[in-house]
Amino acid sequence: MNRRAFIALLGGVATPLFLSPRASRAQQRRRIGVLSSTSETDPEGQRRTAALRQGLRELGWIEGRTIEIDYRWVAGDPGRARALAAELVASKPDVIIASPSSVLAAVQRETRTIPIVFAQVVDPVGAGFVASLARPGGNITGFASFEFALGAKWLELLKQIAPSVTRVAVIYDPATPAATGFLPMIDAAGRAFGVDVSMSSVRDTAEVERVLTGFAAEPNGGLIAVASVLIANQRDFIISLAHRLRLPDVSAFRYYPANGGLASYGVDNIDLYKRAAAYVDRILKGEKPADLPVQLANKYELVINLKAAKALGIEIPVAVLARTDEVIE
């Protein structure tokens, strides 16, 4: 064999051993599964996924090049959560993002090995997701939303906005165990402010309508809607009903007044989804969820909807507006 033929043969053998930059990137592409409690078209769900994707981009992960993101949308259906969790786990992604608690529980039942990052979960220790905040100890870690003491703040805010309120209906979803943790705090605040608190579990819009219609039969009422997947997915109906019944209303997240509710006070949950990207990044680079401490929310926001206030005949006190993070007009 002459020298030229030998070199050509050597080149032909060696070529597959050296990948092009494009092929190298394809091999390095990692897979992320996302299980969301909302529907795909829900503006709140879109804001959450946009924050996550932004956080990943800022850390150098490019969707379609270095990562693939596989979304599943629960749309508030518990049965669908279980089926989609099983489907997502079966696809064997490198890491799964699951929030809030009801969705995370569905994924936890399906895997104890695939790393899971959560956002917007209340009391992850009490719910059995992690052994402790400092040392999660398993395949789950993430960003917890808020403490139960926030329940007292909701009632205090309601009284500041609508001082004439002497009765408050509190609706919550009994299928969300964390929701019940806020009830003692709201009840204690009610006693402190001289407000009669009426607590009702609701499972669907029919129960919401029955409870609130009966409650509104007497004057000076207000409403606290304890955040949950049910409340989030039925917020349009709840807000419309509350305003038809002339009940000033408060909830935990910005999406509530953004959809026409009167006010919200709570964690900037969109920030939690952006921060979750940092843990996804660290896990994809080799760290284990067991060694990543659960982090607590550090950004809170007060949001007031002035249009809703006007419709209810409420003038928001200047002192409240002065500390409001966002006024929706």
Provide the pLDDT for residue 11.
Answer: 47
What domains are defined for the chain? 8-145+269-299 (3.40.50.2300), 150-267+301-328 (3.40.50.2300)
Q: Mind listing the pLDDT tens digit of every residue in the chain (329 residues)?
A: 454 454 444 444 444 444 444 444 445 789 999 999 999 999 999 999 999 999 999 999 999 999 999 999 999 888 899 999 999 999 999 999 999 998 999 999 999 999 999 999 988 998 999 999 999 999 999 999 877 899 999 999 999 999 999 999 999 999 887 888 899 999 999 999 999 999 999 999 999 999 999 999 999 999 999 998 889 999 999 999 999 999 999 999 999 999 999 999 999 999 999 999 999 999 999 999 999 999 999 999 999 999 999 999 999 999 999 999 999 99
pLDDT digits (tens, 9 = 90+) for 284-293: 999 999 999 9
pLDDT digits (tens, 9 = 90+) for 66-118: 999 999 999 988 889 999 999 999 999 999 999 999 899 999 999 999 999 99
pTM of the model: 0.85
Rounded to whole angstroms, the Cα distance separating 136 from 281 reads 18
Structure tokens at 167: 């009765």
**If we measure between CA atoms, which residue out of 270, 249, 263 comes closest to residue 303?**
263
pLDDT digits (tens, 9 = 90+) for 232-256: 999 999 999 999 999 999 999 999 9
Q: Are 280 and 293 in contact (CB under 8 A)?
A: no
